[in-house]
Amino acid sequence: MVQLGRWAVMNVTGRRCIYLGMLLAVTVPMIWRISFKEHPTPMVRDIFATIEKLPKNARVLFVCDFDPASAAETRPMEDAFARHLCLRGVGLYCLTLWPTGPIEIDRTIRDVIALEFPSYRYGQNFVNLGYMSGNEAVVAVALTNFKKAFSTDVHNISTHDASRLPMMVPIEDLASFDLIVDVSAGYPGLNEWIPYGAIPAGVPIVGGSVAVGSPEIFPYIPEQCGGILVGVKGAAEYEQLLLEQYPQLDRPECRIALERMGPQTVAHLMIIGLILLGNGIHLWRRHKEAAA
Amino acid sequence: MTRKLILAIVCLALLLGLLIRASSGAMPNPFLDYQNLGLWVGAALTLFALSFLYGDNPFFRFTEHVFVGVASAYWMVQGFWGTLVPKLLANLAPEIAVSLFRMDFPVGVPWTRRLLYALPLLMGGLLLTRLHPRARRAGSWTLAFLVGITAGLRLIAFLDAGFMTQIQNSVVSLVAVSRSGFDLGKSLDAILLTGGVICCLLYFFFSRRESGPVALAGRFGLAVLMVTFGASFGFSVMGRVAVLVGRMEFLLHDWLGII
């Protein structure tokens, strides 16, 4: 039988201890409901101000470029954006370039728009254009002829049908929109909507991104993109601003990201502690080996 | 062997305990409706996936295969009903779509339009020839078309948004002035941005010997790159922790009903 060395055994058991520690770091604050007040950054404030400035009945292209796998980060920002846009009374044109995106649009419509804003009528205040394959090619077509890229909605109603989808009447191209809001988790997403859609059309764009994908978007801010919410932290800051501006939203379903920031912060502190500990042990071993 | 047996007994005892808890109404009962059963399946698959942290095991591999299979099937079904039928078949042969799938499409599509839509069908079909070693060359036409279109489309957008505008945005005034006068913070930001960009470019400038001010600036550029990579890694960790928090919330709130 192969005998494991002292360090190898410590590596295996240490690794499992770290996993256990991480589990506790996440679950304990969750059970004890530890949460912190968020201090929104200027970028998040800019995004909030952009939506606040929208006039009633403005036309907003609401893009959900993510899937259930990334929903832990993107769903809170999607809900917060939908809630804020509905509070502003703007027209929502929902679509996705992800095959798994329609599930998320349906969920947002069911849980946020239909439930919290019963005055919102399908075809008049919001429309679900569903999924369209083709990635950036779809954006390029929509740039010049939106109804060619999206000829029907999810219910197979023609986007030219003025009686059933009256809110589609003024839409000709991407420039017909007042704002693009894209919550994205990768390709295709903000990195496609900014260069192929928002910039050529001259339409302002804001959005949210999973944390790991956000460094790709940062070079576009602030000139080409108004700003992005970065991961759960960005969503929590946005929720904080929403609560400050609209106190009537102080309900559990409007504080999802804020609630999640408790375990998130404790887990981050644990990781920082482990990095310091690991470096300390490494330096100590090096010092000991040099002395020997 | 004994360890595995003990582990199996512990797991069975836990399952029994959970079923008793479910029957008492403290958590969703899987035998009451399909939604609850789905919750239990989701919870089991989450635990199977997390079991990889202890070590590779059949439960983890089962979950991995289920995940890949379900995701592929979903994409295929979505592609069929979301693209092939309403976009292709509805324009190429709407009669088939109406009679076969009982969908509401206008049938009076002119022949010119039908012929136009036969082209993507043909090109899509050619792509499938790549599965056969002797016929795979035929699929190169479609691939060439796709690569050409994508390159053309990306080049124009990249030159504007990703190249020219990025250069323009990197060259900023080093002295920032706001309404109240000289803005020290923004000026330092601008100096750091411009200096960082120049130093990063100098780090990749290999034509000079690694000494003197150019090398020093290059070393600063390397430090800027390291900070950038560190921040990206930090974002990556943040994302993974968020996913874990989401899963734990599902287990503790939706499934177990503890929080």
Using CB atoms, pick whichever of A131, A219, A260 lies closest to residue B82.
A131
Say if residues A79 and A108 touch (Cβ distance below 8 Å): yes
| Domain map (residue ranges) of chain A | 42-258
Q: For the segment A58-81, what is each residue's pLDDT rounded down to a tens digit? A: 999 999 999 988 999 999 999 999
Q: A131 to chain B: which residues are within 8 Å by CB?
A: 78, 82
Amino acid at site A137: A
Beta pairing, strands A205-209 & A179-184? parallel
pLDDT at residue A1 greater than cutoff 50: no
Contact A260 B74 (CB under 8 A): no
Q: Would you state the structure tokens that stand for residue A215, as one six-digit string?
A: 């460094």
Q: Token match 């403005």: residue?
A: A58
* Among candidate residues B14, B68, B69, B72, the one with its CA nearest the CA of residue B43: B14
3-state SS assignment for residue A61: strand
Exposure string over A207-236, b if 16+ CB within 10 A, otherwise e: bbbbbbbbbbbbbbbeebbbbbbbbbbbbb
Could you report the predicted ipTM of this complex, rounded to two decimals?
A: 0.89
CB spacing of A27 vs B252 below 8 angstroms: yes
pLDDT tens readout for residues B172-226: 888 888 888 888 888 999 999 999 999 999 888 877 666 788 888 989 999 999 9
Q: Average of pLDDT values for A127-149?
A: 92
Whether A100 contacts chain B with CB within 8 A: yes
A284 pLDDT tier (thresholds 50, 70, 90): very high
pLDDT tens-digit readout, B118-130: 999 999 999 999 8
H runs (alpha helix) in A57-202: 71-87, 101-108, 115-116, 136-144, 146-149, 190-193, 199-201
Rounded percentage of chain B residues whose pLDDT exceeds 70: 99
User: What's the pLDDT tens digit per position in B4-58?
Assistant: 889 889 999 999 999 999 999 889 999 988 999 999 999 999 999 999 988 899 9
Residue numbers in B near A132 (CB within 8 A): 82-83
For chain B, the average pLDDT equals 89
Q: How far is CA B58 from CA A15, B63, B64, B68, B158, in A?
A: 21, 9, 10, 15, 46
Nearest Cα residue to A66 out of A226, A213, A201: A213
**Pairing status of strand A205-209 against strand A91-96:** unpaired
**Nearest residue in A to B158, CA atom:** A195
Note whether A126 and A165 are within 8 A (CB).
no
Calculate mean pLDDT across residues A180-202. Answer: 94
Helix (H, G, I), strand (E, B) or coil at A90: coil
| Residue A246, pLDDT score | 95
Radius of gyration of chain B (CA): 30
If we measure between CA atoms, which residue out of A107, A153, A148, A149 comes closest to residue A128?
A153
CB atoms within 10 A of CB A126: 24
pLDDT for the residue numbered A3? 54
**In the block, residue with structure tokens 């996936």:** B49
pLDDT tens column, A221-239: 888 999 999 999 999 999 9
- Give the predicted TM-score (pTM) of the model: 0.89
pLDDT tens string B70-95:
999 998 998 898 888 888 998 899 99
Tell me the HSE value of A132 on the side-chain side, using a 13 A CA sphere.
25
> Selecting from 3.50.50.60, 3.30.450.20, 1.10.1740.10, 3.40.50.10160, what CATH number does the domain A42-258 have?
3.40.50.10160
- What pLDDT score was predicted for residue A156? 84
Report how far apart the first and last C-alpha atoms of chain A are (Å, whole number).
Answer: 31
CA gyration radius for chain A?
23
